[in-house]
Every structure is written in C-alpha cells, then in structure tokens.
Amino acid sequence: MSHTAHIRSHRKPRRSASKIAMRAGVAGGILSTVAVAGASGPANAAEPVTQTLELPTLTADLAAQVAESADATELAAANYELQAERDAAAAQAAKEAKADLAVAKKKAEAKKKAEEAARKAAAERAARDAERVTLAASADVSAPSADVSAPSVSAPAGGSVATVIAFLKAQLGDAYVMGATGPNAWDCSSLVQAAFREVGVDLPRVSQDQSMMGTEVSLSSIQPGDILYWGGKGSAYHVGVYIGGGQYLDAANPSKGVVIQDLSGYPASGAVRVL
C-alpha cells in the first residue's frame, strides 16, 4: 500500500466488475476480428473492396417545405408593402379631409358674414328710405311754393339749410354712378339738385350751371348749406355742399360713393350761396 493510500483524495478509484467485464469483452471481440481478418486476407486478396458513401438527398417533403417557406416570406413581404400603402393612403385621405373641412368652414363663415352684411345694408337702406319720406313731408310743410319752371334762388323759410343737410346725410353710403339721379345712386350734381329741391330750390342739373347760381362767397366766409365747386366758375367739374366744421358732403366717385370729407384734403375752387 502506498504511504498516501490512507488519504481519501489519493486513493485510486476501484473499477467495478461490470466495467472490467465489458472491457474484457470488447478486447476479446477485437482480437477475434483481427484473427478472422488475417485468416481470410489471402483468400480475398484478388477481389478489390469498394466502399460507397451515400450522401443525404433532398426529399420531396423537404423541398416542399422550403418552397412553402419562400412563398410565406414573399407573401409576408407583399402584405407588409400593401399595409404600408394602405397606411399612407389613409394618412393622405385624413389630410385631405382636414383641408376640405377647413375650406368648408371658411366658406360657411364668409357666407354668414355676407348674409349679415346684406341684412345690415337692407336695414340701413330701409332707414334711409323712411328718413327720405319724413324729410320730404317736412319740406312740403315748411317750404313755400315755388315755380319749378324757372330756377329760383330765393331763400325759403328758416330751417331749410338743416333740411338740405339732413337729406344729404340720409344718402350717405349710396353709390356714385355718372348720370344717376337717385334714389340709391347719384352723381355729384344730381345729389346737390335733389337736396335743394327738398326745400323748393330748383337748381340746374349739371355742375357748370350750378356754380353760376346764387351769390358768390369767399371760401373764408362759407356757411353750412353753401354749394362748393371745383374748377372755374361756369366750367366747374364737381360740386358738393358744405356742412360745417371744415367738412363737406358729396357724391365723390365710384370708389367712395356718397361720403363726408374734409375740405382741407381737397380744397374747393369757390362757393355760392342759394339759401
């Protein structure tokens, strides 16, 4: 016995009887095979020994599985692409729907504003028409009779200047149309003529002739109700009526219509007084 045999870790493991028998059997089989081979060797020396190695072949089932896998991959790719196209189309449709909604909303708001403006304009027009009727009735009561067959420049009863100015202000916002004589569109001279007719003063139709009526007054001495003209006396191209406070009212032009303007912005050439 070794001097370290008493130490557990240094002891050699004992071989079991089964393992020893198995190894003996294997060794015996090998020796028997070698002996037989040696004995038969000379007899078979003339016959060559050929050994064929068969490689595994691809069976039909495996080929079908590979094909199915390829088809599945291709189908998955096609489905993914189709889904991507659908998502893109849905996003585009949502974007277009949002834009269409915004346009429809703007159109609805514009229509609503237009309808409100139309109602407001109709109400203002009705108010002006009612005021015209009132002014006409008042002028019939306060103004003396006049011979409308010939121009008249005599001053009617007191308060006629206020009537003229009230009539003019009732036309604010009306359109300017060359040759128009009311009731909702005027040119400069037809508006002045209609205003003074309210108090019984019959003026000529055109600006040139209106600038020749009444009494000439200096621009430093003008009073409300005086007729202002632009251009030469007898050849005026525009007229309006002074309403006080450095302002006048006229049918200005197609872009402005009937408006109140500051005399300082467009100084007149002269003025005449018919009241």
CATH number for the domain that contains residue 163: 3.90.1720.10
Does residue 112 fall inside a structural domain?
Answer: yes
Does residue 159 fall inside a structural domain?
Answer: yes
pLDDT at 164 (0 to 100):
97
Over the chain, what is the mean pLDDT? Answer: 77
Residue 124 has pLDDT above 80, yes or no: no
Residue 71 pLDDT class (50, 70, 90 cuts): confident
Range of the domain at 222: 84-275
Residue 188 has pLDDT above 80, yes or no: yes
Alpha carbon 145 to its chain's center: 61
Close Cβ partners of 209 (under 8 Å, ≥ 6 residues apart): 203
Task: Out of 55-59, 145-149, 182-186, pick the least confident.
Answer: 145-149
What the block records as the tokens of 254 is 């197609």
Does residue 7 fall inside a structural domain?
Answer: no
User: How far are the Cα atoms of 1, 54, 75, 76, 100 from residue 62, in angstroms, in the given order?
Assistant: 64, 18, 20, 21, 56
Q: How many CB atoms lie within 10 A of CB 113?
A: 10
Is residue 195 within 8 Å of 143, Cβ to Cβ?
no
- Taking the whole predicted model, whether its pTM rises above 0.85 is answered as no
Residue 201 has pLDDT above 80, yes or no: yes
Residue 122 has pLDDT above 90, yes or no: no
Domain count across the chain: 1
Does residue 51 fall inside a structural domain?
Answer: no
Does residue 152 fall inside a structural domain?
Answer: yes
Is residue 232 within 8 Å of 257, Cβ to Cβ?
no
Highest mean pLDDT among 37-51, 56-70, 139-153, 221-235: 221-235
pLDDT at 32 (0 to 100):
47
pLDDT at 13 (0 to 100):
53
Is residue 267 within 8 Å of 242, Cβ to Cβ?
no
Does residue 12 fall inside a structural domain?
Answer: no
Crossing angle for the helix pair 160-170 and 188-197, to the nearest 10 degrees: 140
Does residue 65 fall inside a structural domain?
Answer: no
DSSP character at residue 268: -
pLDDT at 125 (0 to 100):
62
pLDDT at 235 (0 to 100):
96
Query: Looking at per-residue confidence, does 36 or 211 come out higher?
Result: 211
pLDDT at 213 (0 to 100):
96
Residue 70 has pLDDT above 90, yes or no: no
Does residue 67 fall inside a structural domain?
Answer: no
Percentage above 90 pLDDT, the chain? 41
Identify the bridge partners of residue 243 per DSSP, sorted by sequence position. none
pLDDT at 54 (0 to 100):
56
User: How far are the Cα atoms of 130, 132, 133, 186, 229 from residue 125, in angstroms, in the given order?
Assistant: 9, 10, 12, 15, 28
